[in-house]
Amino acid sequence: MSTQESLCWKTNDHFVMAGRCIRHLTRSLDNLLIVIALPIMMMLLFSSVFGGAIQIGGDENYVNYIVPGILLICIGYSASTTAVSINMDMSQGIIDRFRSMPIAKSAFITGHVIASVFRNIISTTVSILAALVLGFSPKASLTEWLTTILILLLFALAMTYLSTIFGLLAKTPEGAGAFGFFMLFLPYVSSAFVPLETLPKALRLFAEHQPITILIEALRSLFANTSSPFTFEAIIWCSGILIVSAFIAGQIFRRKTV
Amino acid sequence: MQVENNVIQIRGLKKSYKRMEVLKGVDLNIKKGSIFCLLGSNGAGKTTMVKILATLLKADSGEVILSGCDVKENPEQVRSVISLTGQYAAVDGLLTARENLRMVGRLNHINNVKAKTDQLLREFNLEYAADRPVSTFSGGMRRRLDIAMSLIGNPEIIFLDEPTTGLDPQSRIEMWKIIREMAGAGVTVFLTTQYIEEAEQLANHIAVLHEGIIIAQGSAQELKSKLAGGAVLLGFEDTSSYITAQQVLKGCSYKLNDDTLTIEVATDGSVKQMANLLSNLNGTNIAYLEQKQASLEDVFLTLVAN
């Protein structure tokens, strides 16, 4: 087999695996709920229920304030379902079938990652549409939109690979699912919904330095068309997490599957 | 035994998990196109062996050559000639039967995925359920799909790890038919089972794996004759012959049955002993003669007990 031919087959393997995972998305109601209902419910909850009670100072529109946080929660949670699907595949017979076939080693994980990105594109689009309906008024220029998309994409990839690690290490699908809660709650300890000054000191120290806050500040200034030092920092954080977790996930998978 | 006929050659295969020695040096040769059956109790090391052969697990030492390729040196090449159906049906429950077959067909890099899928759905009697999610299938249907998925890549060797465990009798018989047809089509079938009857029904060659070693191998017939304790049942026409025979047989180990006028004489199964026995009994009226063999179950239990 020529190198070119073999490269062609390898690409084919990745697409077949991704196609499988994307099909799963349309077959299970839970997945569909996470992808479509979660963003809408979060937007409604924060803008209507908490929106009246939380004062963020100034005359800022609260919907504008919360959009970055909700985008990150939805992406994080949706990426975290990768942990459960990978864990289920690993614990059922199907992984043995794949491993005993002449297919590209990396295709199994890449398939899940591509499906996760696909899922996130849908869920982020739904989030933004819901936000627009509720009064979100971004002032971002085209470049800022593109930067926003880049940051969100890097974040989605980073969280997907991170949850891949959990999926590979967890003993049961339930255990792997716990990663979702972590992703669901981490953004609350950041500037996502309340200004940091309102937090108790210890929490505030954590919140100020955790990457979610940096991402949120970056997205907020991108949407508001104001420059901020956080954009670059956010890209570095996401790329860093992505590279490290993709490497670790690859190593664990290799070790687990010889 | 000619080496080139052996599509599976195993020499000195060893594997331990931590301090547990699972395989303690297994040697096997399996002929192309045959049905080979690895018989053993739970925990005998059957699944470990299949996993090593199917490139999922590395052996500690020993050599495995499948269709001319070394499993350790060249696992990629091995994967293109084998197919594995593990103990738990390796099907994707969320996809339909058709989607499962197509997926595996594409991953096997075959050209005519669509035609092959339709053909297998027909052959395995799954056409009527082709577009239903596999999670709605019965155990027997899942197994059939599982095997169809294993066949779509045209493997030379197919590994079936306890293919009938958990199936109802009807599905089991159906599975046996499928296995015979596969071997008929030239595929070498490597099958593990804990059911003696299954081994006897299907296999050309049986190996008994016990505590990590092969304690006996051969055809079902050969294994049975290996167990000393076979017997000949002699039926007599009249009482006088029956009594005469008892005198002739003095010194032999035998069992009498006065009601049926039969004597069961223990033999070692050799032709010589049989000829002697019959020439000694010349003159008595023997109505019939029946060779009684130990059942494979007797053989298995005796072997495992020793």
pLDDT 10s digits, B261-298:
888 887 766 778 788 888 888 878 888 888 776 677 77
Q: Which of B92, B98, B117, B143 is the best mutation test for A, with the most CBs of A within 10 A?
A: B92
Q: Between vectors from CA A108 to CA A107 and to CA A111, what angle results, nearest 5°? A: 75
Provide CB contacts within 8 A for B153, sequence distance 6+. Answer: A101, B80, B83, B104, B105, B108, B110
Do the chains contact at B57 and A93, CB–CB below 8 Å?
no
What per-residue confidence (pLDDT) applies to B18? 83
Do the chains contact at B106 and A102, CB–CB below 8 Å?
no
Question: A243 CA to chain B: closest CA distance, Å?
Answer: 28
With 50 as the cut, is the pLDDT of residue B300 above it?
yes
Q: Stretch A169-192: mean pLDDT, rounded?
A: 84
- How does residue B1 score in pLDDT terms, banded at 50, 70 and 90? very low
Please write the tens of the pLDDT for every residue from A187-214.
Answer: 887 888 878 888 888 888 888 888 888 9
- Residue of chain A nearest B103, judged by CA positions: A16
User: Which residues of B are less than 8 Å from A93 in CB distance?
Assistant: 86-91
Please write the tens of the pLDDT for every residue from B28-51.
Answer: 999 988 999 998 888 788 888 999
Residue B54 contacts A where some CB pair is shorter than 8 Å: yes
With 90 as the cut, is the pLDDT of residue A235 above it?
yes
Please write the tens of the pLDDT for every residue from A82-108.
Answer: 999 999 998 887 888 898 898 888 899
Do the chains contact at B83 and A12, CB–CB below 8 Å?
no
Nearest to B79 among A19, A100, A258 (CB): A100
Do the chains contact at A27 and B133, CB–CB below 8 Å?
yes
Provide Rg for chain A, Cα atoms: 19
In angstroms, the CA B266 to CA B260 distance is 18
Do the chains contact at B106 and A16, CB–CB below 8 Å?
yes
B224 membership: H or E segment, kind and range: helix B220-226
Residue A32 contacts B where some CB pair is shorter than 8 Å: no
Do the chains contact at B84 and A28, CB–CB below 8 Å?
no
Find the DSSP H helices in chain A: 3-27, 29-32, 38-44, 62-91, 94-99, 107-133, 142-169, 173-185, 201-209, 211-223, 230-257
Q: Stretch B68-86: mean pLDDT, rounded?
A: 88
User: Which residues of A are less than 8 Å from B87 in CB distance?
Assistant: 93
Nearest to B107 among A23, A103, A257 (CB): A103
**Strand pairing class (B157-161; B61-66):** unpaired
**Strand pairing class (B157-161; B35-39):** unpaired
User: Which residues of A are less than 8 Å from B103 in CB distance?
Assistant: 16, 19-20
User: Which residues of A are less than 8 Å from B107 in CB distance?
Assistant: 13, 16-17, 98, 101, 103
For chains A and B, what is the number of CB pairs under 8 angstroms?
A: 70
Nearest to B92 among A9, A13, A20 (CB): A20
Residue B74 contacts A where some CB pair is shorter than 8 Å: no
Residue B154 contacts A where some CB pair is shorter than 8 Å: no
What single letter denotes the amino acid at residue A237? W
Do the chains contact at A28 and B94, CB–CB below 8 Å?
yes
Q: Between vectors from CA B11 to CA B10 and to CA B14, what angle results, nearest 5°? A: 100
Reading across the β-sheet that carries B82-85, which strands appear in turn? B82-85, B157-161, B188-193, B35-39, B205-210, B213-218
Nearest to B92 among A94, A102, A257 (CB): A94
* Beta strand segments in chain B, E: 6-17, 20-31, 35-39, 61-66, 69-70, 82-85, 157-161, 188-193, 205-210, 213-218, 230-236, 254-257, 262-267, 286-292
What's this model's pTM, rounded to 2 decimal places? Answer: 0.81
B46 membership: H or E segment, kind and range: helix B46-53
Instruction: Using a pLDDT cut of 70, give the percent of chain B over it.
Output: 95
Please write the tens of the pLDDT for every residue from B235-252.
Answer: 888 888 888 888 888 777
Q: Which positions 204-223 of B are in contact with A (Cβ < 8 Å)?
A: none
Is residue B274 a contact partner of residue B232, using CB atoms and an 8 Å limit?
Answer: yes
What per-residue confidence (pLDDT) applies to A158? 95
Q: Stretch A166-194: mean pLDDT, rounded?
A: 85
Which of A17-26, B142-151, B172-181, B220-229 is the least confident region? B220-229
Question: A27 CA to chain B: closest CA distance, Å?
Answer: 6
Residue A92 contacts B where some CB pair is shorter than 8 Å: yes
Is residue B82 a contact partner of residue A100, using CB atoms and an 8 Å limit?
Answer: yes
Question: A126 CA to chain B: closest CA distance, Å?
Answer: 25
Question: A179 CA to chain B: closest CA distance, Å?
Answer: 23
DSSP helix/strand/coil, A7? helix
Question: B162 CA to chain A: closest CA distance, Å?
Answer: 13
- How does residue A245 score in pLDDT terms, banded at 50, 70 and 90? very high
What per-residue confidence (pLDDT) applies to B272? 81
Residue A29 contacts B where some CB pair is shorter than 8 Å: no
Place of tokens 């759905």: B121
Do the chains contact at B83 and A9, CB–CB below 8 Å?
no
What per-residue confidence (pLDDT) applies to B196? 83
Nearest to A93 among B57, B89, B104 (CB): B89
What per-residue confidence (pLDDT) applies to B2? 46
Place of tokens 């070790």: A255
Residue A52 contacts B where some CB pair is shorter than 8 Å: no
Do the chains contact at A23 and B57, CB–CB below 8 Å?
no
In angstroms, the CA A216 to CA A80 distance is 19
How does the average pLDDT of chain B come out, rounded?
Answer: 85
Please write the tens of the pLDDT for every residue from A57-77.
Answer: 665 678 888 899 999 999 998
In angstroms, the CA B81 to CA A146 distance is 48
Q: Which of B47, B76, B109 is the best mutation test for A, with the most CBs of A within 10 A?
A: B109
In angstroms, the CA A81 to CA A102 distance is 28
Nearest to B88 among A16, A92, A101 (CB): A92
User: Which residues of B are less than 8 Å from A97 in CB distance?
Assistant: 84-86, 90, 104, 149-150
Residue B82 contacts A where some CB pair is shorter than 8 Å: yes
In angstroms, the CA A183 to CA A236 distance is 19
